[in-house]
Structure 1
Amino acid sequence: MLVTMNDILLPARKGGYGVGFFNAVNVEMARAVIETAEELHAPVMIGTAEILLPFMSLERVAEYLIPMAQKASVPVAVHYDHGLTFDGCIHALKAGFTSVMYDCSTCDYEENKARLAEMVKICHAMGVTVEGELGHVGDNEGAGKLTNPCDFYTNPEMAADFVSATGVDALAVAVGNAHGDYKFPPKLDFERILAISDETKIPLVLHGGSGLADDDFKMAVKKGICKINIFTDLEKAGRAGAQKALDEGVPSLTKMIPYEIDAMKKVVEEKIRLFGSDGKA
């Protein structure tokens, strides 16, 4: 069933478990996520990010994701991740997404707050939930890599003001996490997560989940993380499935599809069980 982020994350916060958000830029990825969630009776979030739109447009993603979510036997929120522009988020609203992230984290504090408050007002009027980001989660490499990531960590006291002023439904935090593949094991600031959770009392979001150790995930959820974003691990699994098919001499693209889906389903199952959302639908 198609639901909002609050329908999934508020019970997760109350129940002390986490829920996976998986980017799905094609039908095979979407099938792997939703079929596994149904098999495990788990709520799940699925969608795309603005940076991924060159590979599959928002309209095309909406055409398969929203009907699949509507027909699912478990709660599925369709989320637009890292919306970097106002117009992009509005586009997602019009396309039928039930949740958007308006990422103004590279703006100064007051501008981030003002922009997000405006988006929350619009989205809530349409029954759509909103995620914001305070601090800034960088990348593990490339142009988005931060020289001193701790300079951009989320401040718990500022987070309380930010949430109160914007009315945002979930907050992405910077606590030692980063997007992409980790070159070295990250050191998450778990006490900072707990402090932010205590100050804001809303679901917290961990971006850059691919590559974290199992114990890090468990501790992060224990301290207040309710939504964990996964893409790199899913994408790598799909590629490995395709490679296995090629290595085994599979003769056609259509016969490669089960290999890709099976490989990705293993990752989704692992994360759902790890986050503790299995059986929670």
Structure 2
Amino acid sequence: MRLNKYIAHHSSYSRREADKAIQDGYVRINGEIVDNPATQVVEGEDIVYVSGKQITTRDKYTVIVYNKPKGELVTKSDPRGRKTIYDSLEKKYKHFVPIGRLDFATEGLLLLTDASKVASALMNSNLERVYKVKIKGPITKEMEDAMMNGLELSDATAGGHSHSKITSMTFSPFIGYKIHKSEQNYSVLKIAIAEGQNREIRRFFAHFGAEVADLKRVSFAEIELNNLPTGKVRFLSRSEYSALYTFMKEVKKKEKERAK
């Protein structure tokens, strides 16, 4: 893991604050001053200090569910002064890492954790993510074919952010979808996907000339948004933690097998 990311994941430092601390010479790895934010850190082996205080990882972890409203960025700080999720979250969650991202105009279930290993495992998983989607225009046969069979785009810039460096994208077949309404003016459907690519859903429908008017994530694996009010936080239930512990055990098992 990159040094600046490691510090941001395991402390109250933002990524930019971590960069400055590193560049100013306040960071040591195994006793040696390091001034490159991209230096790789091996969790469990390397010992990192910032201003003389050791950055520690924890075996125990906490995961929270945040019902993100529209109009908040999933980042620790924004140079343009726009509102971020950390402006709304309590200070005790400042060091929590978002598991994946929801864009500025997307709302719904966002998971955050105090353990980078959990964040990485969930972000890189193929666990089911379910969204409610409202698009402008009807749902076409071409859209349904792509949802069922997947889609590969050499130009996936439509629907992406204007500053995004991503130009091409491959969409795996959706796990499932259900059409609630399909009309000339707008359509509503629920979709289940197993990926978390950058603006994936907006790019998918934009390819067919359909703008996503509303997008809300309602579940991630066994974790449901349910009736959590917008802008509020809850901890995982016992059953949700149990499912997560089982998942993390499988991740650890596979890592050990690959290391053999």
Larger radius of gyration: 2
Q: Structure 1 length normalisation: TM-score?
A: 0.25
* Higher RCO structure, 1 or 2 (CA under 8 Å, sep 6+): 1
Q: Which has the higher helix share?
A: 1
TM-score, length basis structure 2: 0.26
Identify the structure with the greater strand proportion.
2
